[in-house]
Amino acid sequence: MPYSRLFVFMVTSVLALVALIIPWYFLSPYLAAPVISVAGQLMDYGFLWVEGYERHETVGTLLTTLNVAVNQNGRLVVGQLSPEVNYRTFGYGLVLFWALLIASRPKGMWLKMALGTLILVPSQVFSMCFRWLREALLTSGAEVVRQAGVHRWVLEIIAYFDQLGFLIITPLMPILLWLLLDRAFINKLWMEMVMAGAAEAEGHKKPKGPD
C-alpha cells in the first residue's frame, strides 16, 4: 500500500509538471515582474556601476556605466554594458513546487500554492542577481572587471553563488518548501512504510507449522 501510494505520487507529480509547464510559460511575464523589480533595485543599491534596470516580459536588463567595445557596421564603437537575464532560466522551480502539491493534495492546497509562490521569490531574486553579475563581470573581459573595481576573489564568489543558484537552489528550494508545507503527507507515508515493514518482518518470524 505505501509503495503503491509513493508510485502514484511520483507519476502524478511528473504528469502535473509536464501539464503545468504550458500555463507557467504564459504566466511567467507576470511572475517575473516582482523578481526582476526586487533584483534590479538590490543591484542598483549595491553597486555604484549599476544605473538601473529594465524589464521586457521575462527578460531583465541591467543598465550599467561599464564601457565595452562593440562591433557596429564593421567598426568598433564604445557602448555601455547591459547584461540580460531571462527569468525562465531559473523560474521553472515554481512549476516543480506546484506539481508536488497537486500530487500530494494537502489540505488548503490552493492557499499553500499561493503562499509558496511568494516564498520562492527571494530565491529567484538571488539567482537573478548572481546571473546578472556573472554576465557582467565573468564574461565581458578584464577591462570591464577593472572598471568595476572588483578583485579576483570576488569573481570566484560570484561564480560559486551563480552555480549554487542555478544548479542547487532552483531545483532544491521547491522540494524543501513542499516538504515544509505538506509534512502530513510525508509523515503518513513514512508511518505506512514503517508499519508495512514491521508486518513483513513479523510474517517472516512466524514459525512454520508441522508437516
Nearest to 163 by CA among 134, 196, 195: 134
Domain that holds residue 60: 2-195
**Confidence class of residue 135 from pLDDT cuts 50, 70 and 90?**
very high
Domain-located, residue 152: yes
pLDDT for the residue numbered 68: 83
pLDDT at 112 > cutoff 80:
yes
Instruction: Please give the model's pTM, rounded to 2 decimal places.
Output: 0.83
Domain-located, residue 187: yes
Domain-located, residue 170: yes
Domain-located, residue 11: yes
pLDDT at 31 > cutoff 80:
yes
Domain-located, residue 157: yes
Domain-located, residue 211: no
Beta bridge partners of 79: 68
Domain-located, residue 155: yes
Nearest to 49 by CA among 165, 133, 157: 133
Give how many domains the chain has, as a whole number: 1
Calculate mean pLDDT across residues 23-48: 95
Domain-located, residue 146: yes
pLDDT for the residue numbered 208: 55
